[in-house]
């Protein structure tokens, strides 16, 4: 039985690792389109590892001690101590300032006096020729990326434009491949967290615990021609269903005068549309 339990544990471990790239893909896609690079993400992830291990894996309701956090996360005790101390002093996880190559280049272009005019504005730069030029800027801030590749990417995201004389004009100070609506970002966070918490509960619940409702319907062989029809049906019927649940929840809200007498919890139902045109037969 002991060997069987060990093998089952190893299978779960491997399954979770295999699932990681799939789970991370939509998150990485969002980060890359916002200009967030790997180093920034890795730094934040390390701090989240320490935070979650500290808050959620304690024994008898207490916070996890430093040694156990180090064991669970694989992060050294000294680094765990440093991260925990920073959280105690500043609260929120620190947002790393390290930028990607394109971000560093655009920032340098706007702050380095060698590339500014007399009014402190970034100069239009020729690729080569008299100093300062774009090649010099690349050597200083662009890392090991070829200048032609960097210029192509900056033009693609409208961070620079080419003047008629062939010089390069900076249009943005920050590198962001796609501009996001900030309100949609917060909505996205809520949706990810809610779905993640439901999935975690269903994955880890005990035999005596009831699972939360989590279901979907998909078909990999639907004709592309019915996309709009299905989308409209989901909007109409899905909205009607959500309106029914919203009314029920509103009728069961705690009244203002009973807020201090009754414990409040969050309840709700989320729905999302599924579409993937990259499925192969």
Residue 108: give its domain's CATH number. 1.10.10
Q: Residue 220 domain-assigned?
A: no
**Span 67-80, mean pLDDT?**
93
Q: Indicate the angle between helix axes 101-111 and 134-141, nearest 10 degrees.
A: 120
Which pLDDT tens digit goes with each residue over 143-197? Answer: 888 888 889 889 988 889 999 999 999 998 877 766 666 667 777 888 888 999 9
pLDDT at position 94:
55
Range of the domain at 136: 101-170
118 and 138 co-located in one domain:
yes
Lowest-pLDDT choice from 7-16, 17-26, 33-42, 202-211: 7-16
Do 192 and 31 contact (CB within 8 A), yes or no?
A: no
What's the structural domain count of the chain?
A: 3
Q: Do 202 and 238 have their domain in common?
A: no
Q: Do residue 105 and residue 140 come from a single domain?
A: yes
Q: What is the pLDDT of residue 256?
A: 79
Same domain, 201 and 148: no
Residue 84 within any structural domain of the chain: no
- Do 128 and 159 belong to one domain? yes
Q: Map tokens 């340098």 to a residue.
A: 108
Distance CA 18, CA 149 (A): 33
> Rounded distance, CA 199 to CA 46, Å?
22
Q: Same domain, yes or no, for 129 and 187?
A: no
Q: Residues 161, 185: one domain?
A: no
Whether 44 is in a domain gets the answer no
The predicted structure's pLDDT at residue 137: 93
- Please tell me whether residues 193 and 161 are part of one structural domain: no
Which pLDDT score is estimated for 277? 80
- Structure confidence by residue, pLDDT tens digits, 107-150: 889 989 999 999 989 999 999 888 899 999 999 988 888 888 88
d(CA 9, CA 3) in angstroms, rounded, equals 10
Q: Is residue 28 part of a domain?
A: no
**What CA–CA distance (Å, rounded) separates 136 from 142?**
9
Mean pLDDT, rounded, of the chain = 85
The answer to the question of residue 232 being in a domain is yes
**Whole-model pTM?**
0.60
Residue 191 located in a structural domain: yes
Report pLDDT for 178: 64
pLDDT at 13: 81
Query: Is 63 a member of any domain?
Result: no
Predicted pLDDT of residue 10? 67
* Cα(48)–Cα(55) distance, integer angstroms: 10
Residue 156 sits in the same domain as residue 109: yes
Look at residue 93 and tell me whether its pLDDT is greater than 60: no
Say yes or no: 186 and 162 in one domain. Answer: no
Q: 61 or 51: whose pLDDT is higher?
A: 51
Nearest Cα neighbor of 49 from 88, 76, 22 is: 76
Residue-wise pLDDT for 229-270, tens only, equals 999 999 999 989 999 999 999 888 888 777 777 888 999 999
pLDDT at 15 (0 to 100): 87
Evaluate if residue 97 carries a pLDDT over 60.
no
In a domain, 5, yes or no: no
Euclidean distance between the first and final Cα of the chain, in Å? Answer: 42
Give the number of other Cβ atoms within 10 Å of residue 109's Cβ: 25
């Amino acid at each position: 039985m002991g060997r069987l339990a060990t093998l089952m544990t190893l299978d779960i471990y491997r399954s979770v690792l295999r699932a990681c790239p799939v789970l991370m893909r939509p998150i990485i896609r969002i980060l890359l389109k916002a200009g967030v690079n790997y180093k920034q993400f890795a730094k934040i992830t390390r701090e989240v590892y320490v935070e979650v291990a500290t808050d959620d894996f304690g024994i008898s309701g207490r916070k996890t001690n430093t040694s156990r956090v180090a064991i669970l996360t694989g992060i050294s005790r000294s680094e765990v101590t440093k991260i925990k101390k920073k959280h105690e002093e500043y609260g929120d996880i620190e947002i790393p300032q390290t930028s990607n190559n394109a971000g560093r280049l655009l920032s340098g272009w706007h702050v380095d006096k060698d590339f500014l005019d007399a009014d402190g504005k970034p100069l239009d730069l020729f690729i080569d020729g008299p100093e300062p030029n774009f090649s010099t800027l690349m050597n200083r801030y662009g890392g090991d990326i070829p200048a032609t590749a960097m210029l192509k990417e900056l033009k693609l995201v409208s961070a620079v434009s080419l003047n008629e004389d062939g010089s390069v004009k900076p249009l943005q100070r920050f590198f962001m491949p796609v501009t996001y609506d900030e309100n949609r970002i917060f909505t996205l966070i809520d949706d990810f967290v809610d779905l993640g918490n439901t999935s975690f509960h269903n994955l880890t619940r005990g035999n005596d615990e009831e699972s939360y409702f989590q279901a979907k319907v998909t078909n990999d062989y639907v004709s592309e021609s019915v996309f709009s029809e299905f989308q409209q049906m989901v909007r109409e019927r899905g909205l009607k269903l959500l309106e029914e649940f919203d009314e029920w929840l509103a009728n069961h809200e705690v009244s203002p005068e009973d807020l201090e007498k009754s414990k409040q919890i969050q309840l709700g139902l989320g729905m999302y549309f599924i579409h993937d045109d990259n499925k192969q037969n």
